Structure 1
Amino acid sequence: MNFALILFIALAVTGGIWLLDVLLFKRFRDKDAREPLLVEYAKSFFPVILVVFGLRSFLVEPFKIPSGSMMPTLLIGDFILVNKYTYGIRLPVINKKVVALNNPERGDVMVFRYPADPGLDYIKRVVGVPGDVVEYRDKQLSINGQPVRTVNTSTYSYVGNGLSYVTAMVYQEHLNSVGHAMMTEPGKLAVYPSQVVDFPYRENCSYNAEGEGFVCKVPEGQYFMMGDNRDASNDSRYWGFVPDRNIVGKAFFIWMNFDDFGRIGTTLK
Structure 2
Amino acid sequence: MSNAAEIPLLVRDYFWKPKWKKEALGTLKGGQKFLNYKRDLLEQDRVDEISSRIKDLKEVIRKRDQDGVKEACKQLQGTCEHSLKSYRPPDALADNLEVFFVAIAVALGIRAYYVQPFRIPTGSMQPTLNGIIGNSIEDPNWKKPNIVKQGFEKLTEGRTYVKAIAPADTEIVDVREKRWFWFFTKTDVFFANGQKIRLNGSPNAVINGLGMGKKLNFYSNDGENYGFVAGGNRRFPVKKGQVLAQGWVDTGDLVLVDKFSYHFRTPKRGEVFVFETRGIERIVSEARMNDQNRGSHYIKRLVGVPGDSLQVQAPSLFINGKLASEPGMKRVMSLEDGYQGYFNAPEIVSRTQKRPQGYRTALNTPTSKIELAKGNGKDQYFAMGDNSANSSDSRYWGPVDEYLLVGPGLFTLWPIENFGFIR
Greater helix proportion: 2
Number of the residue aligned with 1:267: 421
- Structure 2 vs 1, CA of residues 208 and 57 (structure 1 numbering), >3 Å: closer, same or farther? closer
8 A Cα contact 1:60 1:82, kept in partner:
yes
- Structure 2 vs 1, CA of residues 184 and 147 (structure 1 numbering), >3 Å: closer, same or farther? closer
Q: SS in structure 2 opposite 1:82? A: strand
Q: SS in structure 2 opposite 1:206? A: coil
State the distance in 2 between where 1:256 and 1:208 align. Answer: 34
Q: SS in structure 2 opposite 1:154? A: coil
Number of the residue aligned with 2:32: none
8 A Cα contact 1:137 1:214, kept in partner:
no
1:154 aligns to 2:312 (yes or no): no
Question: Per-residue deviation at 1:205?
Answer: 2.3
- Structure 2 vs 1, CA of residues 50 and 228 (structure 1 numbering), >3 Å: closer, same or farther? same
Q: Which amino acid is the alignment partner of residue 146 of structure 1?
A: K
Q: Which protein shows a greater Rg?
A: 2
State the distance in 1 between where 2:341 and 2:314 align. Answer: 11
Number of the residue aligned with 1:178: none
Q: SS in structure 1 opposite 2:116? A: strand
Q: Map residues 132-147 of structure 1 onto 2, 5 A cutoff.
A: 132-147=308-323
Q: Which amino acid is the alignment partner of residue 129 of structure 1?
A: V
Q: SS in structure 2 opposite 1:55? A: helix
1:206 aligns to 2:361 (yes or no): yes
Q: SS in structure 2 opposite 1:52? A: helix
- Structure 2 vs 1, CA of residues 126 and 208 (structure 1 numbering), >3 Å: closer, same or farther? closer
Q: Which amino acid is the alignment partner of residue 113 of structure 2?
A: F
Q: Which runs of 5+ in 1 are unaligned?
A: 1-21, 23-29, 34-39, 89-100, 157-169, 171-182
Number of the residue aligned with 1:190: 344
State the distance in 2 between where 1:249 and 1:208 align. Answer: 25
8 A Cα contact 2:115 2:256, kept in partner:
yes
State the distance in 2 between where 1:128 and 1:207 align. Answer: 14
Q: Map residues 27-66 of structure 1 onto 2, 5 A cutoff.
A: 31=86, 47-66=102-121
Q: What's the RMSD between the two structures over aligned residues?
A: 3.2
Number of the residue aligned with 1:121: 297
1:102 aligns to 2:265 (yes or no): yes
Question: Per-residue deviation at 1:78?
Answer: 0.6
Number of the residue aligned with 1:80: 255
Q: Which runs of 5+ in 2 are unaligned?
A: 1-39, 41-84, 89-94, 132-251, 285-293
Greater strand proportion: 1
Number of the residue aligned with 1:4: none
- Structure 2 vs 1, CA of residues 113 and 223 (structure 1 numbering), >3 Å: closer, same or farther? same
Q: Map residues 184-263 of structure 1 onto 2, 5 A cutoff.
A: 184=341, 190-196=344-350, 197-201=353-357, 204-207=359-362, 211-212=365-366, 214-220=368-374, 221-257=379-415, 261-263=416-418
- Structure 2 vs 1, CA of residues 227 and 119 (structure 1 numbering), >3 Å: closer, same or farther? closer
Question: Per-residue deviation at 1:59?
Answer: 1.4
Which shifted more, 102-111 or 136-145?
Answer: 136-145
State the distance in 2 between where 1:135 and 1:153 align. Answer: 18
- The superposition leaves residues 43-74 of structure 1 with CA deviations (integer Å, 9 ceiling, x where unpaired) of 77753442122100111110110000000100
The TM-score normalised by the length of structure 2 is: 0.41
- Structure 2 vs 1, CA of residues 155 and 46 (structure 1 numbering), >3 Å: closer, same or farther? closer
8 A Cα contact 2:124 2:390, kept in partner:
yes
The TM-score normalised by the length of structure 1 is: 0.62
Give the total of aligned pairs: 193
